[in-house]
Homo-oligomer: A and B are copies of this chain.
Amino acid sequence: MKSKFVVTVEFGETDPAAIVFYPNFFRWFDASAWRLFAKAGLTFDVFREEFGLIGAPIVEARSKFIKPLRFEDSIEITSYVASWKQKTFNLVHEVRKDGEVCAEGLEIRVCAERLKDGSQGIRAVPIPDEIRKRLSADD
């Protein structure tokens, strides 16, 4: 399963060099991840109510920035799960402008639940089969 997310670069996302300030790419990756999850029926409410999870927090994130983006550019972000381990999965985010790759992102995420001790702590749990299945379904 792949999701497509179209973003228009906003004025406030660009810097004095008139190019996108790079942390915004990671904001877009997170937003694109949630669109992929939603496409798989995994909204924030479903994570909490059906699976007892607080969501799928990040343990690692990376991006290569290949071509700079400017205000008013329109980009398309293609997101999908590239691989699974027992407790982590790798999400790939390809950013294209006019079909050309501008950035390649990777997020390594876990499924996490609140600790039962009443603290605000969280811990990773084995990825539920149902979550893996939904994110691996055909488009």
Contacts and interface: CB of A to CB of B under 8 A. Distances in A.
User: Chain copies in the assembly?
Assistant: 4
Given A59-B65, A61-B62, A62-B60, A22 B16 contact: no
A82 interface: no
B23 A27 contact: yes
Interface residues of A, number: 39
A56 to B, nearest CB: 10
A34 interface: yes
Interface of A: 10-12, 14-19, 21-24, 26-27, 30-31, 34, 38, 43-44, 54-55, 57-65, 68, 70-72, 112, 120, 122
23 contacts: A10-B27, A10-B31, A10-B34, A11-B16, A11-B44, A12-B27, A15-B15, A17-B122, A19-B57, A23-B26, A23-B27, A23-B30, A34-B72, A38-B72, A43-B72, A44-B71, A57-B65, A57-B68, A59-B64, A60-B63, A60-B64, A61-B62, A61-B63
